[in-house]
Structure 1
Amino acid sequence: MDVVIALALMVLLFAILGSGLWIGLSLTAVAYIGMELFTSRPVGDSMMLTIWSHTSSWTLTALPLFLWMGEILFRSKLTDDMFKGLAPWLESLPGRLLHTNVVGCTIFAAISGSSAATCATVGKITLPELQKRGYPEEMSVGTLAGASTLGLLIPPSIILIVYGVAANVSIAKLFLAGVVPGLLLAALFMGYIMVWSLFNRDKVPAAGIRMSFLQKVAAARHLIPVVVLIGLVLGGIYSGIATATEAAAVGVAGALALSAIEGSLNWSRFKEGLVAACKVYCMIGLILAGAAFLTLAMGFIGLPRHVAEFIGDLNLSPFVLMLLLIVFFIALGCFLDGISMVVLTIAVLLPTVEAAGFDLIWFGIFIVLVVEMAQITPPVGFNLFVLQGLTRREVTWIARTALPLFLLMVFAVITTYFVPELVLWLPNRA
């Protein structure tokens, strides 16, 4: 009977989501209905206590701060300087300036934490430059679509903070765990660009002005502010000097200072960045509150226990379970954004993955990798929408250009399963 009730509530949830109601309110409504009809616990007290306890976490404070840091940098000249510093070093690689998408996204991911912000910021810089120089649009857009998903994985990652809070896992260790897989994906993307360029030499424009080594070093000075900021934020976390929240506060202060030094900080941009960060966090906070209440309601109804028992009775091997979870998350990504996917499923899946022997740090990186795939999967791939706004192209066309990088992500997920040390080596030595 509990299973029937839980399934009915899930159908109700998707029906409400399909109506266009905000995700956070949809989750709260279904949780309220479920507890009111099928449990004897006082609903009002449960809702208030659960929402307060999950949204007043000190650890969660890092999230709006990292969002604000990204918004400050988004409105500064530092991102333009990043292209100037990178381009001379990448001209000699097969594929030339196409690598600026990957390297630029990798660097900006380390100071943003948001996939959409990474896509929008790097795309506004690189796409016009690559088009002006005659690079194929499908490769420019496709590599940006794939590389921008690194904003979810390379620390500081907003979605890793959400997972860490939901699963009660160390955020510092999750950040460490994301470093090697993030660099692995970046290397795979650059390798794909090199292989493509070797087979399509006629489509790659000739190199621009040749620069000496000393000239390249001089151009690299533009990267110094960004590198210093990354060092302050991640160095503080990894050294143990600062918590994720304290490092985020340092990041905001550093971003404000750098913006002021290079002359792009004024009252208007300060206010715009703060308002934008508040809006995004309020959206995420509402989702987290609704998901926490829904998790409580599902727990009283018995859904997590029944799902765990059902999957356990199937006697699946860990590898087959992982493949099913990949398909499940990609399918879910057709309807929900990444943060909603994480907060909605963690409580249900944790008993199952723990029973299967998955390390929770590894599973957090696994989820982020799969959510990255969903970011470039239509119809609700957020990065596709960002790129559609930048290029005025159809979402399906953008998704096709990103397909090779999507397949590389699948390869990366399977690789981390067979070689878990890629994820766990750094956290285990922290």
Structure 2
Amino acid sequence: MEWYTVGLGLLGLLMIFIVIGLPIPFALAAASLPFLWNIQGFSTSVVSSELKLWGVWIDYILLAVPLFVFLGELIGKSQIGPNLYQFLHQGVRIRGSAAYGSIGASAGFGAVCGSSMVGALTIGGVALPEMLRLGYGKRLSSGVLAAGGTLSVLIPPSLILLFYGIVADQSIGDLFIAGVIPGLILVSSFVVIVLIWGILKPRDIPNQEEAQKMPMLMILSTVGPVVLIGLVITVAIYAGIATPTEAAAVAALLTVVLAFGVGGLTWQGFVASIFATMRTMGYLGLLLSAGVLFGFVLTYYRVPQQFTELFLSYDLSAYTVLAIVLVFYVILGMFLEPVSMTFITLPTIYPLMDAAGFDLIWFGVVYTITMEIAVLTPPVGLNLYVIQAISREQVTIGDVIMGCLPFIGAMILLIVILILAPQTALWLPEQMR
């Protein structure tokens, strides 16, 4: 069977199964099975599928995923995340402090949790009602929180960078450290956007905000855990003390202690965190397992290699190839969420980017920023619906979309900066080596 027949067949079956409403993990597996049967026969392929699925669930590197998810859920169910927003809002007595506090809290939460949706839920659940009560514009309030949730995707630890490293076989530590400087640039860009927004639309930001000063003890119990958890993850990975999986395990255990000790976590909240992690990992585990089957079929028929050779035969410049790939992901992001896109498309795309001469660590950062844009673009922009849902119908989905546009512009500008100056992402990993 020719590689292009397999590639088009897989894509066609996948689209059919998704359109008829089959969940993406099952759609991936169902699209892969006919070609797997062609390779091995029915009985053998059933056994090999079971082995591949089991291999995913016991993979040592992938153990970091549920640990980081659990860590984020613990912070979300305790008072650590909400108090972080209150501290940054009440501790910064300037016009627009609630908006700046939302950005800072989202960045701080991103430093200990790698999930965009959990970040948007945790910070947005506290900040959005408060900002609306204070008189902030609906578009500014919803836009800054939906976009702020994406900071969890870029600032390490990041689940998307983790998945990228697994699929593209790149160093997780290098990918995490490569996201630090671009993440700080993006945070700064968001602050500038709020500042300009206040100048252009002064009615969207109140002149005075009613906020009580936080007691020093509450400040310490808020900032201390976030700093400590972030340091444990950062130092353990980048100093070579522990692998990402080991760092995630230690950080998760530390978070349990801190969430109960100073975060006000209840037993019901702890149980809810476990169940939320199980629900998330039930989906991600199936997606990872189905992605392995999908990737095996692609690799067996050499679809990525043949696709790369075909693409390069057109003699396009490297930056033309990059532009095509980025536009492809922006369009695809309107219909699929980032994790699914990673396992469906990345096995074919990353060899192409490698052959085009791009550093795969650098491309991992660019890819992750593109995934940030994906969670803010309708009709399947997860963060849009999260923020709209927690507003309790005070904000329309149109308000959230319009509010996100300036922040999407900042992400596009960051991609341009990374293209013009690749060392923005590569300098820090090189220094760490």
**SS where residue 112 of structure 1 aligns?**
coil
User: Which amino acid counterpart does residue 331 of structure 2 have in structure 1?
Assistant: A
Q: Is the 8 A contact 2:142 2:399 kept in 1?
A: no
Report matched runs for 1:236-315 at 5 Å.
236-262=236-262, 264-315=264-315
Is 1:91 aligned to 2:93, yes or no?
yes
**Could you give the per-residue CA deviations for residues 41-67 of structure 1, whole angstroms, max 9, x where no partner exists?**
942344234333344221111110011
Q: Is the 8 A contact 1:114 1:151 kept in 2?
A: yes
**1:390 shift after superposition:** 1.0
**Could you give the per-residue CA deviations for residues 320-341 of structure 1, whole angstroms, max 9, x where no partner exists?**
2221111111111122111111
Structure 1 equivalent of residue 101 of structure 2: 100
Structure 2 equivalent of residue 59 of structure 1: 61
Report matched runs for 1:138-287 at 5 Å.
138-208=139-209, 220-221=219-220, 222-262=222-262, 264-287=264-287
CA separation of 1:415/1:191 partners in 2, compared to 1, >3 Å: closer, same or farther?
same
Q: Is the 8 A contact 2:322 2:353 kept in 1?
A: no
Q: How many residues get paired?
A: 427
5+ residue gaps, structure 2: none
**SS where residue 358 of structure 1 aligns?**
coil
Q: Between the two proteins, what is the percent identity of the paired residues?
A: 31
Q: Is the 8 A contact 2:29 2:290 kept in 1?
A: yes
Q: Is the 8 A contact 1:89 1:216 kept in 2?
A: no
Worse-matched range after superposition: 255-264 or 334-343: 255-264
Is 1:116 aligned to 2:117, yes or no?
yes
**Could you give the per-residue CA deviations for residues 87-140 of structure 1, whole angstroms, max 9, x where no partner exists?**
244332x63321122111100111111000000000011111111111111101
Question: C-alpha separation between the residues in 2 aligned to 1:182 and 1:359?
Answer: 19
Structure 1 equivalent of residue 126 of structure 2: 125
**1:285 shift after superposition:** 1.2
Structure 1 equivalent of residue 389 of structure 2: 389
Structure 1 equivalent of residue 137 of structure 2: 136
CA separation of 1:242/1:2 partners in 2, compared to 1, >3 Å: closer, same or farther?
closer
CA separation of 1:55/1:361 partners in 2, compared to 1, >3 Å: closer, same or farther?
farther
Aligned Cα RMSD in Å?
2.2
Question: C-alpha separation between the residues in 2 aligned to 1:86 and 1:216?
Answer: 13
Is 1:337 aligned to 2:342, yes or no?
no
**Could you give the per-residue CA deviations for residues 374-429 of structure 1, whole angstroms, max 9, x where no partner exists?**
00001111111211211234434321220111111111111111111111111112
Worse-matched range after superposition: 97-106 or 313-322: 313-322
Question: C-alpha separation between the residues in 2 aligned to 1:302 and 1:228?
Answer: 46
Q: Is the 8 A contact 1:378 1:396 kept in 2?
A: no
User: Which amino acid counterpart does residue 422 of structure 1 have in structure 2?
Assistant: T
TM-score, normalised via structure 2 length:
0.93
Structure 1 equivalent of residue 404 of structure 2: 402
Structure 2 equivalent of residue 3 of structure 1: 4
Question: C-alpha separation between the residues in 1 aligned to 2:407 and 2:49?
Answer: 42
Q: Is the 8 A contact 1:86 1:220 kept in 2?
A: no
Structure 2 equivalent of residue 349 of structure 1: 349
TM-score, normalised via structure 1 length:
0.94
Q: Is the 8 A contact 2:137 2:203 kept in 1?
A: no
**SS where residue 315 of structure 2 aligns?**
coil
Q: Is the 8 A contact 2:154 2:368 kept in 1?
A: yes
Question: C-alpha separation between the residues in 1 aligned to 2:158 and 2:270?
Answer: 22
Structure 1 equivalent of residue 425 of structure 2: 423
**1:265 shift after superposition:** 2.7
